[in-house]
Homo-oligomer: A and B are copies of this chain.
């Protein structure tokens, strides 16, 4: 019944600032729950089956707080434009294809396979506005074994005609239909309300979404303060909003009783940051995306020090790949440039801090996820760094940092466990 012991070189965040490293450690899973990491196996766990990964690095499963599944097809390309033009020229035309369920089946098949083989165990995912395609994605995500929130997008204005929904009521109706259609269908795949971003959603639609949120007590995901032109646009669309996030908060869709994650927050003003903090809104920090679309760099050090809830997002396809280890290194790199070029008082993130964000930080959106401490949901990833030999004797923690910077997970991981179950490689 999902009870076993993993042996290996175990690393996990013992707090926000420090990765604990246990060479030849024993990691205990009882009924899908972590019971901790031990230098020698406690007597009460003797007799449990041992999954022996001696010499390999064992870490908690990684959490992706922001990823666009339908954009997977053009990842790693077409990053020569800034946000709004990039949406209109690349993202929207690609997403429009998902009206075709055959295309969705094929494309989401590729996406789900990649996610299954990745080091990600938990993800918060944007689909498209199409309900059939979104259900196809959820079917496939369920099969991956990954725990995920998946959102059918709402967007009733300012898109290209073939993608835009035909009105607020149509968008709301489709959302009802989608949620009812998938009710009780999945064990690890959950719906999340997904107003694309303020420029895509009329007031009428936001009002409808609030009703839907209340009816089903759904969490919410969206985008916030990513790009300067976008922020100006929101200001002109919602002159009554005090700042960008207020355009969500006016409709009751910004934290508080509603579990909320907002991607980017590159240019959040002080009041917006304070609203995020007070309302417990999660920031999905997407450093690679922010560089690729020339958006800028989010002040993640500030968010962390203020005690905001912060995790990391790959933000495919503005981010290139699904590796959350890479996202952690990109977060460190971006924070160094923030320190050097923007604010000399804003110290860079350490790798230990970035790893915390990629595990516990984002995991918090799912509950007790992202750690091996006693009581956490058991998710784990086994990494093999044997392909990168060195003359140095390294601690597991240093090997983990190296594996992250060398993208060793992109060539395949050794094993992955979610909810105490081993996930098959496909």
Contacts and interface: CB of A to CB of B under 8 A. Distances in A.
A80 B391 contact: no
A21 to B, nearest CB: 13
* The 3 A-B residue pairs with the shortest CB-CB distance in the complex, in nearest-first order: A76-B405, A76-B402, A411-B411
Contacts of A337: 291, 294, 297, 337, 341
A74 B392 contact: yes
Contacts of A237: none
B391 A73 contact: yes
A389 B340 CA distance: 38
A188 to B, nearest CB: 25
A20 interface: no
A296 B341 contact: yes
Interface stretch (A51-59, A103-111, A132-140, A256-264): A103-111
Interface string A380-398: 0000000011111010001
Contacts of A320: 405-406
Interface string A320-357: 11000000000011001101111000001011000000
Contact of A398 (B77, B296, B336): B77
29 contacts: A73-B390, A75-B405, A76-B388, A76-B401, A76-B402, A76-B403, A76-B404, A76-B405, A77-B398, A77-B401, A77-B402, A77-B405, A79-B332, A80-B348, A80-B350, A107-B391, A110-B389, A291-B336, A291-B337, A292-B333, A294-B340, A294-B348, A337-B337, A337-B341, A407-B407, A410-B410, A410-B411, A411-B411, A411-B412
A347 B233 CA distance: 23
Interface string A69-107: 000111111011000000000000000000000010011
A390 B110 contact: yes
Nearest to A108: B391
